[in-house]
Structure 1
Amino acid sequence: MKENKDRFLVKLWRNLHSMKLGIILLMIIGLLSIIGTVIPQENPLKYYETNYSQIVYEIIKAFSLYKVYDSWWFIALISVLALNLILCSIKRFKQVFNLVTNKIDFDLELNKLKDIQKISLEKDEIGKIFNEMKYKSIKEKDFENGKLYYGNKNSIGYLGSWLTHLGILVIIVFFTYGKLYGFEAYVHGVPGTTVEVPGTQHFINIKDFNVSFRDDFTVEQYVSDIEVLKNGHVIDVGQVLVNHPFRTNDLNVYQNSTGWAVDATLYKNGEEYRHKTIYQGDFFIEDDQMIALQFVNFYPDLDETTTTTLRNKSPLPNHPVMLYALFYNGHRVDMNLLHMNEEVGFQEYNFIVDNPQMFTLLQIVYDPGVAGAFVGGVFLLIGIFLAFYVNPKKLRIYVDNSGQVMIYGKSYKHNGEYLEELNKVIDTIRRN
């Protein structure tokens, strides 16, 4: 029983630090990432039940495919991959370090020369071979039965695969760290609004928001002027533009979207009851949910020459009209178009809306793992470059006491071409 357990543990240990396991895990994680891209993520389960067949919905629900990257099995796969990469990196470090620093096992090198055919060369021809093969330096090692001349070049290339593994590992670690300790939130508001960033001590003061249009009324740029506050103090000031986020030490702020907002005033029995800014898609609900005004849509420059469709002449607020829905005691009692400063109401309640203006929707991201993931990316790129474009080579020439010569060369990649080149150099030098 103990023998079987020991055999199992040895096999498990071998598999945990095997390259084969790492490749299999990368393929599985890659496939799951494709699934996580194809299937919309983080929606309510009702969305998947409505948009997919019953069988597909049950699979999505059972395997948490609606939240792939947060599922326990995806995290488990990432953890096993990280462990595999750690063990592989540790196991191979000494070997790679010796190769990069040209630390040579002379017994092993001499053993490789045993079966090499012996030839005759003059001493000065040895140096010519190294020069023709473009080795910058030649080292020598004396032995009892002869002398070894040896050279290495592009040894840094041995780091390629090791750095690639390390880069992937660092990216995984810091990506996980960012997911655990970072956050993403959305805030919106009109100029003059200060909004809290959920789950933090930060506030965003939206000082101004502008949309610039081209002559054909297509959007040229969205620009938000903001202040970032923490614990009541302004810590940074700047602009947020599309494709030009505003970055602080704590937060990254992205320009995400925009929409329209209006100021709405509720009157009850002729007396002002409440005033607030409502945003496109929001509800103005008051008096114990007895009355509610829904901001359904907005037309800044409504074209009233057509009665078949609602459309704008331009994106500018030249003729602003709001599409609303009115609810009383939980029931919709009206839905229509409302011009600014017009009154709409039911029973004892009346609403007046005015001051249409565009609001900005900002995406707030804090990811403490970005810097570490960037370092991992640098390691990965360097590793790929070294692995593909730097080819380590070595050349050994052993001369025994009788003057007979044995030559051994090896290239990490394209070894056949390297040996063919070496043989041509030897033949040319011997003929001359």
Structure 2
Amino acid sequence: MSNHKAGFKEKGVKLLKKIYKLASSVKLAVWLLFLLALLGALGTSGVIPQGGAAAQYSERLGKVGDLIIALGLDNYYRSIPFRGLFLLLLVNLVLCGASRTKVGFLDYFANGKANFSLGVLEREDAVRALRATGFSVSVGSDSAVFRRRWGFLGFPLVHIAPVLIILGALIGSEAGYIGTKIITVGDIALTFLDWSVEEERELPFVVHVKDRVTTFYQGKLRLSGLKNDGSTGAEFTAEVGRITPIPDTPYSLLVEEYNPETNDMRYFIKDGASTKGPYSKGIEKDAPLLIRPLAYKGFEVRQVVALVDLYPSEGKEDVTSAEISVNAPLDYGPYRIFLTAWGEDEEGAPYVGFQVTRDPGERLVWIGSIFLLIGIFVLIFFKGGWARWADGELKVKGSRSLIENLRCSFSKEEKSL
């Protein structure tokens, strides 16, 4: 009975070793990446319609449609197959990188396996050869010596990095949030449209849009002047920021700013050495002429800024006043708010559109990316090495080029004896 149990245990151990060998193989990583790329191509090609109702899939595709819904393929990149492959890739990378990471840390402390050894008769000769290849060592030192020790951390960093990146991506896709909302200036928003479920979702904060400020690259204007007697003067062209004579009058015009959204401008009228103004629509008392824009050229949008107040849903105790512009999103707690749209509704009321995101895995992705860049840099520019004396031999670990240089240095030492 004991022999039977021992044999069964041995078979179990062998099976686990085979599973581990397969799960930690580079070949499996390549296949998983291939399958992910294939599924990604199918997802973007539109072969499987996205975002439809469950009943639509059943009516059009029958049992295949039911299977699509069951696997979540109607929302492709959040589906069970796609996320499952990502999870398998994450496990594979952890197992693949575990051994290389362990070796890297062991070598950092000179406890790894040497790839070169040589019997040394004279310690001083070994010291000179090691110094010639870049090792920091003293004659009387019995401890391990190193050459660019940080180079051994390149492999751990490179193997840890993709694990962090994929883990961050999985966390972000599972626990993250993307929502949008159109808010009229002066109104507040309590909910946003959650893209993942296509339903309104209440957020833990309130957004109050106080105003929207749009600035433009200034251009040219076609203008006319309305005289005090009610007659309209000749049309003329003016550039923003330049003094322009007004035809058939003793006056000149300086347009300081024009807003094509409101068809209003801020202008001054010069009469010889005196300047009157500023004037704008509705604020033109005592103006010698009323200047009206007829057409414009240029005036492309330069910047759009939404002036907002944000506060927790529970109350207004902690109000945050901020600006959100096209190229400057606002970070509010774990959320990031982007300005993505603006315009006027059918009644002419100005509005802005926001996209709200929350990505709890973003920091892991950034850390993983930084680890990857540092690891690659270390592997390219820092060829690490260690050496230690053990049992009358000099044991060394390093790159192939380092070992060859060390061999050459020892050969020179032997010839000089």
TM-score grouping bracket, smaller chain normalisation: 0.5 to 0.7
Aligned mates of 2:391, 2:176 — CA distance in 1: 64
Deviations 1:162-209 (CA, angstroms, capped at 9, x unpaired): 222322222222322222222111111221011123322322111111
Deviations 1:56-101 (CA, angstroms, capped at 9, x unpaired): x99x969866633211011111111222233344445543322111
- What residue is the counterpart of 1:294 in the other structure? none
- Residue 92 (structure 2) aligned to one of 54, 63, 84: 84
Shift of 1:252: 0.8
Q: Which region of structure 1 is more displaced relative to structure 2, 246-255 or 226-235?
A: 226-235
- What residue is the counterpart of 1:422 in the other structure? 406
Aligned mates of 2:170, 2:112 — CA distance in 1: 39
- What residue is the counterpart of 2:205 in the other structure? 202
RMSD of aligned residue pairs (Cα, Å):
3.8
State the secondary structure of the residue aligned to 2:346: strand
Matching residue's letter, 2:402: Y
Shift of 1:223: 0.9
Inter-CA distance 175–150: structure 2 relative to 1 (3 Å threshold): closer
Aligned mates of 2:49, 2:365 — CA distance in 1: 24
Which residues in structure 2 correspond to 1:62-211 (within 5 Å)?
Answer: 67-103=75-111, 113=117, 124-138=124-138, 151-198=145-192, 199=201, 200-211=203-214
Q: Which sections of structure 2, spanning at least 5 residues, go unmatched?
A: 1-6, 193-200, 219-297
TM-score (norm 1): 0.60
Matching residue's letter, 2:326: V
State the secondary structure of the residue aligned to 2:153: helix
Deviations 1:145-177 (CA, angstroms, capped at 9, x unpaired): xxxx96332333233232223222222223222
- What residue is the counterpart of 2:17 in the other structure? 10
Deviations 1:36-56 (CA, angstroms, capped at 9, x unpaired): 45659984459xx9xxxx9xx
Deviations 1:112-167 (CA, angstroms, capped at 9, x unpaired): 64xx6x79x7654332212211111258798xxxxxx9633233323323222322
State the secondary structure of the residue aligned to 1:360: strand
Aligned mates of 2:322, 2:44 — CA distance in 1: 33
- Residue 31 (structure 2) aligned to one of 24, 29, 47: 24
- What residue is the counterpart of 1:363 in the other structure? 355
Aligned mates of 1:363, 1:420 — CA distance in 2: 58
Provide the aligned length of Structure 1 versus Structure 2: 309
Deviations 1:270-316 (CA, angstroms, capped at 9, x unpaired): xxxxxxxxxxxxxxxxxxxxxxxxxxxxxxxxxxxxxxxxxxxxxxx
Aligned mates of 1:40, 1:161 — CA distance in 2: 40
Shift of 1:9: 4.0
Shift of 1:364: 0.9
State the secondary structure of the residue aligned to 1:166: helix
Contact 2:29/2:89 (<8 A) preserved: yes
Aligned mates of 1:185, 1:41 — CA distance in 2: 24
Inter-CA distance 382–26: structure 2 relative to 1 (3 Å threshold): farther
- Residue 411 (structure 1) aligned to one of 398, 405, 411: 398
TM-score (norm 2): 0.62
State the secondary structure of the residue aligned to 1:197: strand
Aligned mates of 1:182, 1:175 — CA distance in 2: 10
Aligned mates of 2:24, 2:14 — CA distance in 1: 16
Aligned mates of 2:93, 2:108 — CA distance in 1: 20
Aligned mates of 2:140, 2:333 — CA distance in 1: 55
State the secondary structure of the residue aligned to 1:262: coil
Matching residue's letter, 2:366: F
Matching residue's letter, 1:176: L
Which residues in structure 2 correspond to 1:342-421 (within 5 Å)?
Answer: 356-395=348-387, 411-412=398-399, 415=400, 417-421=401-405
Aligned mates of 1:250, 1:42 — CA distance in 2: 33
- For the pair 1:261 / 2:264, whether they are aligned, the reply is no
Aligned mates of 1:42, 1:256 — CA distance in 2: 26
Which residues in structure 2 correspond to 1:172-321 (within 5 Å)?
Answer: 172-198=166-192, 199=201, 200-215=203-218, 216-230=298-312, 231-233=314-316, 234-263=318-347
Aligned mates of 1:5, 1:161 — CA distance in 2: 32
Aligned mates of 1:42, 1:183 — CA distance in 2: 22
